[in-house]
Chain A
Amino acid sequence: MNEAVMLNSNLNGNIEDIKRRMGGSDDLVIRPFRMGKSARREVAICYIDGLTEEKSIFQFIMEPVMARGRSPGGADPEEEGLLEEIKDSVLSVGQLKELERLDAAVEAMMNGSVIFLVDGYRRGFEISMAGWEHRAVTEPSNQTVIRGPKEAFTENIRVNSALIRRIVKNPSLQLQNRTVGRSTKTNVSVMYIRGLADEQAVEEVNRRLSAIDTDAILESGYIEEFIQDEPYSLYPTIQNTERPDTVAAALLEGRVALLIDGTPHVLMVPALFVQFFQAAEDYYQRADISTLIRVLRYFGLFIASLGPGLYIAITTYHQEMLPTQLLISLAAQREGVPFPAFIEALIMEATYEVLREAGIRMPRAVGQAVSIVGTLVIGQAAVEAGIISASMIIVVSITAISSYVIPEFDMSIAVRITRFLFMGLAAAFGLFGIFVGINALLLHLSSLRSFGVPYMAPVGPFVVSDQKDVILRVPHSRMKTRPRFFGSRNLIRQGKKPKNPAGKGS
């Protein structure tokens, strides 16, 4: 990589160097031609086939250069001002940079730029003409809403940053580009709002990004695993979303967003436990409904993590806790079931997980078949055959459904894994085990930090003013301050609520 890094003044030499760099790859297009009507000066453009908009190259580079370029020849190969003249009055393009280094030229081509070289000069131009096929902006497939914007990010980082900027038209919205990954040279943009985001957090993000030394960044998950605080915790400390409005809201709370080229998922840091229970729609629906749904989600969290565990513990250790009638009907269902409750639960949970995984991985065309087999065979037949008790099916299904009321997938995965831990504890120690487990879990969660912010904030440490957006979702007119924990210096979100929005009376 070190030899011949600078361009030299011989055009053919440069072309040879570039070819050699690319290893004679066939998608490298090199087009030498002559400049101006007199056509004495040799020039060349190089680009990678498929990464550029070829029409624009012909229209805005080749045509003007051929038609209007002044072409003094021979005697003074390095005529002063010729390049400047081309730049200033010939090339009708927007993004243009001068370059002197060969490796920079190659890298620019990889990003869809056209390299313009002139014979006799040690410098050239890098003209951005990137234009490749990419997916259009579509509806989000995972984080859907009933009310609210229906745009989702795409795989193109510039489209994504534009989507965000279209929502937040604040000039303080900063975007810093960098590339990560030695081979992939993936573009990563760090976005934040200056004055709202904690400068230290931004610095920390940049520091962690710089520390990544890897071959490939293919998706946001790579970055997440490299920069998260506690790689071995089950619980996510970085949030991701495919919704531009969610990112905009995060930026306005003083958080930092990480856009990664090639994926529609944008990372947001710091991420707190409670934020994984806030869906975008909470803020678009009425406050009272949203509050109710928040309560429902925490209830869902409770069931999803403890459901089968509690069932096992109560039916195998603490039968006295059940009302007599319930106990008798549960006992009746268990008549003839060959396995202990724990094994029964494990079988059903494992079956469910297999069904779920199969549902995601399998070709769409066979999806129907699996769901029919899953519900009919596993559900009904297992009960009728007396292998599994009906109540266990109920418990497992409710648990499975409950885990999906958690809006963030990362969190619901974590909850699913904890469920198995609790089942084990329940089978071995009963309710005692479950409560010890809950304590251990709370200790663990409280010990986590996400980019310097306590993970359980604002519950522990408790901040009264931030309770407005934890279980409650107070009306927007009451959300006067931004969350405290993101180090924002500008806490005030809005002015006073208009006393009488209807404008009647006084």
Chain B
Amino acid sequence: MLIVPIFTGCWDRRELNELGISMAMGIDKAGDEYRVSIQVVQPGAVAQKTGGGIESTPVSLFESKGVTIFEALRRMTNTSPRKIYSAHLRFVVFGEEMAREGIGDTLDLLSRDNEFRKDFYLLVAKGTTAASLLSILTPLEKIPANKIYRSIDMSEKSWAPTTAVTLDDFIEDMASKGKQPVLGVIEVLGDGQQGNSPKSVQRVRPSVQIRTAGLAAFRDDKLIGWLNEEESIGYNFILNKIKSMVDHVACPAGGNVALETTHSKAEIKGRVAEGRARLKIKLNVEQNVGEVQCRLDLTQPDSLDELERLSQKSLEELVYRTLEKVQTEYKADIFGFGSAIHRSAPKSWRTVMNDWEENFEHAQVDVDATVRIKRNGTITNPITEEKGET
């Protein structure tokens, strides 16, 4: 017993100041090799109490190449003085080129290594490489990786044009026969070259910004196309991922009414009839009146009914447009219709399973939305309306 402490080598011991805490990892293709870039926090610069001295950037980017990602990561010690520590990784971003070629092989390390948690997001950098995206500084959040992470989180919660996909989600969809994966997309606004200096952030309007930009549709592990903001919202409606969303409908009398979705429930029923996949999507949506820019008497039940009808229609159209684009253009079942048929009609699934891609393209989808408007805020009628009455 007494000898035990003598033989311990403290092999796993790492002092905090020996760690390079990596917040984001970018993977690009460089010929036959991978180019891995890591955004590492400079703790001193992030937790700085008062300004003074030479301000260094809050993060630094280390890059290295390797035939495998593991090698590339270890080779990074050539340039980095500290061991890269990845447990606090916020996301892994793939360059567009890399994503189009397929990202499947890179996922192995991410799920095999015990230092990686499985709760980071996977993202695609639209129109750029991962490395150049990771070298952009951001305002408000000192650590760009945090800023992107929060943006995704927040927009998923309150606006719904994107969705956070973790490694496990992606692998599950990739492996599933009846569903194709999607990934969140980020893009760079402005000239990316300027973004890597603190000067960019020192301006009121940063010259370069990073923003989320809808979703990327995948077939297996290959990127096949983008969903824009509207289509991403449609996607999230179908996949039941709406937490809160704001949309507008046109008033009959001209002007617009903004409606806030507070609750949405989608039910997908699938079957195969006459050799063709048929799906029925039932949407149950609850909304609040958020903003009224037209003459509308909200005290009348009739006008609320009218609003509900309008909202229903616009919602159905939104979903139909999304479906059409995906079905005709990408031909990848990112909605999981296959799984829906598998669940509700397992036997007939077998008949369409093998050439599901083609079946998906020709599947007939009916959307039936039910909207109920629950509340209309702290005032009932629009301000212009009240003025008219008195």
B17 close to chain A: CB less than 8 A: yes
Residue pair B41, A328 in contact (C-beta under 8 Å): yes
Stretch of B43-51, B262-270, B354-362 lying at the A interface: B43-51
Contact among B5, B17, B117 for A331, CB-based, below 8 A: B17
B117: A residues at CB distance < 8 A: 320
Tell whether, in the assembled complex, residue B15 and residue A341 are in contact, meaning their CB atoms are under 8 Å apart.
yes
Q: Is the CB of B88 within 8 A of A334?
A: no
Are A331 and B16 CB-contacts (below 8 A) given A320-B117, A324-B88?
yes
Closest to B6 in A: A428
Query: Which residue in chain B gives the minimum CB-CB distance to A336?
Result: B17
A338 CB to closest chain B CB (Å) equals 10
Of B12, B17, B23, B143, most A-chain CB atoms within 10 Å: B17
Of all chain B residues, which has the CB nearest A340?
B15
Closest B residue, CB atoms, query A330: B16
Judged by a CB distance under 8 angstroms, whether A332 is at the interface is yes
Q: Least Cβ distance of B364 to chain A in Å?
A: 47
A17–B90 Cα distance when bound, in Å, is 95
Which of A335, A341, A427, A428 interacts with B43 by CB under 8 Å?
A335
- Structural contact, B43 and A337, CB atoms closer than 8 A: no
Q: In the complex the two chains form, is A334's CB within 8 Å of B16's CB?
A: yes
**Interface-central residue, B5, B12, B43, by most chain A CB under 10 Å:** B43
A contact residues around B5 at 8 Å (CB):
424, 428
Q: Which residues of A contact B87 (CB under 8 A)?
A: 319-320
Contact A315:B16 (CB < 8 A) given known A320-B117, A331-B43: yes
Within 8 A of A (CB), among B1-34: 5, 8, 10, 12-17, 19, 21, 23
Q: What string of 1s and 0s marks CB contacts (under 8 Å) between B30-74 and chain A?
A: 000000000001011011100000000000000000000000000
**Chain B residues near A327 (CB, 8 Å)?**
16, 21, 88
- Would you give the shortest CB distance from A327 to chain B, in whole angstroms? 6
Chain A contacts of B16 at CB under 8 A?
315-316, 319, 327, 330-331, 334, 341
Min C-beta distance of B377 to chain A, whole Å: 35
How many angstroms between the C-alpha atoms of A330 and B87 in the bound complex? 16
Q: Is the CB of B14 within 8 A of A319?
A: yes
Note all chain A residues with C-beta closer than 8 A to B43: 328-329, 331-332, 334-335
Nearest opposing residue in chain A for B116, CB measure: A320
- A332-B13 contact given A327-B21, A327-B88, A428-B5, CB 8 Å threshold: no
**Most chain B Cβ neighbours within 10 Å, of A316, A328, A424, A427:** A328
Report the Cα distance A329→B44, complex, angstroms: 8
Q: Is B85 an interface residue (CB 8 A)?
A: yes
Q: Say how far B42's CB is from chain A's closest CB, in angstroms.
A: 9
Q: Report Cα–Cα, A495/B46, bound state, in Å.
A: 66
Residues of A within 8 A of B48 (CB): 332
**Chain A residues with Cβ under 8 A from B10's Cβ?**
427-428
List residues 298-319 of chain A with CB under 8 A from any CB of chain B: 315-317, 319
Contact status B14-A317, CB under 8 Å: yes
Cβ of A458 < 8 Å from any Cβ of B? no
Closest B residue, CB atoms, query A323:
B88
Q: A319-B87, A428-B10 are in contact. Are A328 and B17 (CB under 8 A)?
A: no
Please tell me if A112 contacts chain B, counting CB pairs below 8 Å: no
Residues of B within 8 A of A329 (CB): 43, 46-47
Q: Annotate A429-470 by CB proximity to B: 1 below 8 A, 0 otherwise.
A: 110000000000000000000000000000000000000000
Looking at the assembled complex, report how far the CB atom of A423 sits from the nearest CB atom of chain B, in whole angstroms: 13
Contact indicator per residue, chain A 363-385, by CB within 8 Å of chain B (1) or not (0) = 00000000000000000000000
Say yes or no for A333: interface residue by CB 8 A criterion. Answer: yes
- Given known A319-B87, A320-B87, A327-B88, contact A335–B44 (CB-CB < 8 A): yes
Residues B75-102 near A (CB distance < 8 A): 85, 87-88, 90
- Docked Cα-Cα span, A328 to B15, in Å, equals 13
Residues of chain A within 8 A of B143, CB atoms compared: 328
User: B41: which A residues are within 8 A, CB to CB?
Assistant: 328, 331
Contacts of A320 in B (CB 8 A): 87-88, 115, 117
Measured in the bound complex, the distance between the Cα atoms of B67 and A70 in whole Å is 123
Contact call B47/A319, Cβ cutoff below 8 A: no
Interface string of A319-358 (1 = CB under 8 A from B): 1100010011111111111001100000000000000000
Would A430 and B44 be within 8 Å (CB), given that A319-B87, A327-B88, A335-B17 are in contact?
A: no
| Chain B residues with CB below 8 A from A317, complex form | 12-14
Query: Is the pair A332, B14 in contact by a Cβ cutoff of 8 Å?
Result: no
With A319-B19, A320-B87, A428-B8 given, is the CB distance from A328 to B13 under 8 Å?
Answer: no
Contact partners of A332 in chain B: CB under 8 A? 43-44, 46-48
CB distance from A388 to the nearest CB of B (A): 13
Chain B residue with minimal CB distance to A339?
Answer: B15
16 contacting pairs across A/B (C-beta < 8 A): A316-B15, A317-B12, A317-B13, A319-B87, A324-B21, A324-B146, A328-B46, A330-B16, A332-B43, A335-B17, A337-B17, A340-B13, A340-B15, A341-B15, A341-B16, A430-B12
List the 8 shortest-distance A-B pairs measured between CB atoms, nearest first: A332-B47, A320-B87, A332-B43, A331-B43, A334-B16, A334-B17, A329-B47, A331-B16
